[in-house]
Amino acid sequence: MTKWFNTNYHYIVPEIGNDTKPAVHENRLLNLFQEAKDELGIIGKPVIVGPFTLLKLSKGYDKAHFASLLDRCLVPLYIKVLGELQAAGAEWVQIDEPILVTSLSQEEIDLFEETYKALKKGLPELKLLLQTYFEAVDHYETVVNLPVDGIGLDFVDGKEENLKALKTFGFPEDKVLAAGVVNGRNVWKANLSETLAELETLLASASKDRLIVQPSSSLLHVPVTTANEDELDPLLKNAPSFADEKLAEVVTLTKGLNEGRATIEDKLSANAAALTALQQSPHRNNTAVQKELKHIGSDIPTRAGSFKLRQEVQKDAFHLPLLPTTTIGSFPQTQEIRQARRKWRKGEWTEAEYDQFVEEKTAEWIKIQEELGIDVLVHGEFERNDMVEYFGEKLDGFAFTRFAWVSSYGSRCVKPPLIFGDVAWTEPMTVKESAYAQSLTKLPVKGMLTGPVTIYNWSFVRDDISQAEVFNQIALALKKEVRALEENDIRMIQVDEPALREGLPLKENKKKLNTCTTLFSPSA
């Protein structure tokens, strides 16, 4: 498996050999289309990943065979599958080609054009909607003039560049523009008034009868509904928009566009009130955090002495062998550990009982590591439920839902926290457990922190300030945790960043790592 572009959704990587001869064993799209038609009377719009994206994301073949595999293997099968849908009554089929928002060569774009000419030739009567998302398309003029009946563009993540291209080159009068104006990847309410104004500007390029209002991407990237989140703070409960609510936003915007703003004035007013209430709340106006951010550039810590000098100091302090052994950090969360945490959360165990259990497990595994001859020990993280959730629960600016699960892969789901306010450190988060573990051994015990990039990428993040500001708010909080660990004689600290590459731009010319301005490495 690997992640779908720069999202947290995983897909199984297809493997296609140079001599692969694929065949249609079952038209699952046809089965689903027919079920909706028979049971609900719906003439649906089937959605399928396009042949170019499918092959580009596959492995196992030589690049020299790419064009041949497209023409010989995939295009005929797509024509067969889509033709069966047309025969069953489908009027439109959406073909997702997100690969178009990555950096493709002119040769690849030419091949893309030939592929869609072949598809249209094989399906002259079926209406094809070519859908892109997650970024703006390059080669805009070629893309919008492909032999399809509609083009879907992302006006959230690719907003500025897509709008610029639309204004510069226009939009074909014989095509439908599917405008992705409602964020399909984040969980906050759209600013309906501003979004409606953006849609009104799009009418200069595509008339109302050729404009579709839609989310910017599939809604599988967000939870289903806010209706069941009855434990959220009332202020926050009125701020998120999950899949159900985003669909309602699409309906509202469509009505406002077709019938005028006056027909949705009540919804515009309620939407503005909800957004204003959150924006003016203390959660987003932490003066201490905002003051630190203003002075962040003048407060970058430096490390005393050269690397060679620090290396010698650390050698004398830790007495480690040339190739010391350690582990990454967390030990398995066994059923016993999960049951203990569940009892504590339900109030069946007191805080003292739970702490005693964690200490017993920590002591057991410190001893095991010593017996194994490990040089740098870890405390095992038995107190932690999740590497992001654990820190989010202890920092200001985070909130947690009860049922806001999103698909990760297959039937596996995750429940990302919401970063809705200014992130602030209020008290030590990891010191108690790390210091206890260090008290049990003469060997060094590492402090273990989840880094700001991973916390950011595995959360739903507020959209009213820049990515850099949120990164640095988290980094400032972790910096204080590092200081607290140092003050308690934890001299070696590991920062985990498994999501360091996630969220990077999809275009090669934009792939410049955005590092946090705030450095939070130990002073020694």
pLDDT of the residue at 451: 96
Percentage above 90 pLDDT, the chain: 89
Helix (H) or strand (E) holding 409: strand 406-409
Name the percent of the chain in helix, strand, coil, to the closest 5: 45, 15, 40
Q: Is the pLDDT of residue 455 over 80?
A: yes
In a domain? residue 141: no
In a domain? residue 479: yes
Residues 95 and 192 both lie in one domain: no
Find the CATH number of the domain harbouring 377: 3.20.20.210
For β-strands 418-425 and 447-450, DSSP reports them as: unpaired
pLDDT of the residue at 517: 45
Neighbouring C-beta atoms of residue 89, cutoff 10 Å: 11
pLDDT of the residue at 519: 46
Q: Among 131, 154, 178, where does a domain finish? A: 131
Query: Structural domain of residue 172, as residue ranges?
Result: 165-280
In a domain? residue 153: no
User: Do residues 284 and 421 touch, judged by C-beta distance below 8 A?
Assistant: yes
Q: Among 106, 131, 156, where does a domain finish? A: 131
Under DSSP, the state recorded for 215 is E
For β-strands 176-182 and 211-215, DSSP reports them as: parallel
pLDDT digits 0-9 by tens, 171-192:
999 999 999 999 999 999 999 9
Rounded to the nearest 10 degrees, how much is the dihedral formed by the CA atoms of 282, 284, 290, 296? 150
Residues 75 and 123 both lie in one domain: yes
Residues 374 and 309 both lie in one domain: yes
Mean pLDDT of 333-356: 95
Strand segments, DSSP code E, in 98-187 are 127-131, 150-154, 176-182
Under DSSP, the state recorded for 49 is E
Environment class of 128 (CB within 10 Å of its CB; exposed 0-12, middle 13-18, buried 19+):
buried
pLDDT of the residue at 399: 95
Kindly state the tokens that stand for 7.
């999202």
Mean pLDDT of 55-62: 96
Q: Among 280, 303, 338, where does a domain finish? A: 280
Residues 169 and 124 both lie in one domain: no
Residues 332 and 433 both lie in one domain: yes
- Distance between CA 409 and CA 114 in Å, rounded? 33
Q: H/E/C letters for each residue in 54-91?
A: HHHCCECCCHHHHHHHHHHHHHHHHHHHHHHHHHCCCC
Residues 294 and 438 both lie in one domain: yes
pLDDT of the residue at 305: 84
- Distance between CA 79 and CA 57 in Å, rounded? 20
Mean pLDDT of 44-58: 97
Kindly state the tokens that stand for 256.
């406002």
How many domains does the chain divide into? Answer: 3
Sorting pLDDT into bands at 50, 70 and 90, what band is 302?
confident
In a domain? residue 499: yes
Residues 335 and 480 both lie in one domain: yes
pLDDT of the residue at 492: 95
* Residue 344 CB-half CA count within 13 A: 17
Sorting pLDDT into bands at 50, 70 and 90, what band is 524?
very low
Kindly state the tokens that stand for 52.
């170019």
Residues 422 and 478 both lie in one domain: yes
- Distance between CA 462 and CA 473 in Å, rounded? 12
pLDDT digits 0-9 by tens, 103-144:
999 999 999 999 999 999 999 999 999 999 999 999 999 999
Output 225-232 pairs: Cβ under 8 A, ≥24 positions apart: 226/404, 228/402, 228/403, 229/401, 229/402, 229/403, 229/404, 230/402, 231/402, 232/399, 232/401
Output 247-256 pairs: Cβ under 8 A, ≥24 positions apart: 247/215, 247/219, 249/182, 249/189, 249/190, 249/192, 249/195, 250/182, 250/213, 250/214, 250/215, 252/192, 253/181, 253/182, 253/190, 253/192, 253/195, 253/196, 253/199, 253/213, 254/213, 256/192, 256/196
For β-strands 10-11 and 47-49, DSSP reports them as: unpaired
Rounded to the nearest 10 degrees, how much is the dihedral formed by the CA atoms of 225, 338, 343, 329? -100
Under DSSP, the state recorded for 377 is B
Q: Is the pLDDT of residue 504 over 90?
A: no
Residues 79 and 46 both lie in one domain: yes
Q: Is the pLDDT of residue 516 over 80?
A: no
Q: H/E/C letters for each residue in 288-311?
A: HHHHHHHCHHHCCCCCCCCHHHHH
pTM of the model: 0.92
In a domain? residue 150: no
Residues 431 and 309 both lie in one domain: yes
Residues 340 and 273 both lie in one domain: no
pLDDT of the residue at 521: 44
Mean pLDDT of 379-391: 94
In a domain? residue 323: yes
Residues 325 and 473 both lie in one domain: yes
pLDDT of the residue at 522: 43
In a domain? residue 191: yes
What lies within 8 Å, CB to CB, of 301 at 6+ separation is: 519, 521, 523
User: Do residues 220 and 9 touch, judged by C-beta distance below 8 A?
Assistant: yes
Percentage above 70 pLDDT, the chain: 97
pLDDT of the residue at 514: 44
Kindly state the tokens that stand for 179.
């405008």
In a domain? residue 154: no
Rounded to the nearest 10 degrees, how much is the dihedral formed by the CA atoms of 432, 436, 442, 447? -30
Dmax (CA) for the chain in angstroms is 77
The distance in angstroms from the start CA to the end CA of the chain is: 40
Determine if residue 302 is left, alpha or beta; phi over 0 gives left, psi from -120 to 50 gives alpha, anything else beta. Answer: beta
The residues with which 240 forms a beta bridge, in sequence order, are 188
Indicate the average pLDDT of the chain. Answer: 94
Q: Is the pLDDT of residue 298 over 80?
A: no
Which has more pLDDT, 311 or 178?
178
- Distance between CA 409 and CA 198 in Å, rounded? 34
